[in-house]
Structure 1
Amino acid sequence: MTVPPLTLSPSAARRVAQIAAKQGKPAILRLSVEGGGCSGFQYKFGLAEAAEGEDLVVETDGVRLVVDPVSHDFIAGCVVDYVESLGGAAFKVENPNAAASCGCGSSFAV
């Protein structure tokens, strides 16, 4: 069985590169899934120093997205995007595995 890949959009890659450059860190975005949020699970984003042992690593325009194996089970096939709107700017996960999500877009249920 082939595991659906993750995708880091070009706009998300650009934003990660900008944030990493400002903070003097490598352009590596770590995405993980944790219990909590209004729908059962929530996404957590942060800059990482490096990929760890069994992380899935996806690269777009020289920027890496890293995900641990447990989190990957919940977000396989996702697209991580960066969107700017009148309400603000944020990283957004388009998750085909989510059965429901909340209005804030940062938590989901499977």
Structure 2
Amino acid sequence: MTGISLTERAARRINEIMASEPEGSMLRISVNGGGCSGFQYAFDVDRTRQDDDLLIEKDGAKVVVDEVSIQYMEGSVIDFVDDLIGQSFKIENPHATASCGCGTSFSL
């Protein structure tokens, strides 16, 4: 158990996005090197789940995280926000020591 979880808002938005995608699609979140703080989150639609992927499900929404990215996201909460700067997924990561204003880049 990794403790990565989805909020109801995130699950609702993922279900809205997947409604227009092919059957069996899910949201893939990965952590890559780069961004303005050292690491950045990538969000993609994927129809393939690898054997070592973590599957997170809530209210019918499915998110997969690859094995390497899990270590950077342990204990994180995936949320969806709709504010003045726009709509986006936001990851509240307890291990991030700094993050940028866009919310998709962080450092450890």
Which residue in 2 is equivalent to 1:77?
75
Deviates more, 1:16-25 or 1:92-101: 16-25
Paired-residue identity, %: 47
Q: What residue ranges of structure 2 are gaps of 5+ in the alignment?
A: none
Question: How big is the shift at 1:26?
Answer: 2.9
Question: How big is the shift at 1:86?
Answer: 1.8
In 1, the alpha carbon distance for the partners of 2:58 and 2:82 equals 19
Q: What residue ranges of structure 1 are gaps of 5+ in the alignment?
A: none
Which residue in 2 is equivalent to 1:34?
32
TM-score by length of 2: 0.93
Question: How big is the shift at 1:50?
Answer: 2.9
CA deviations over 1:41-67 (Å, ceiling 9, x no partner): 000001110321100111100111110
In 2, the alpha carbon distance for the partners of 1:25 and 1:91 equals 22
Give secondary structure in 2 for the equivalent of 1:15. Answer: helix
Which residue in 2 is equivalent to 1:61?
59
TM-score by length of 1: 0.91
In 1, the alpha carbon distance for the partners of 2:33 and 2:90 equals 18
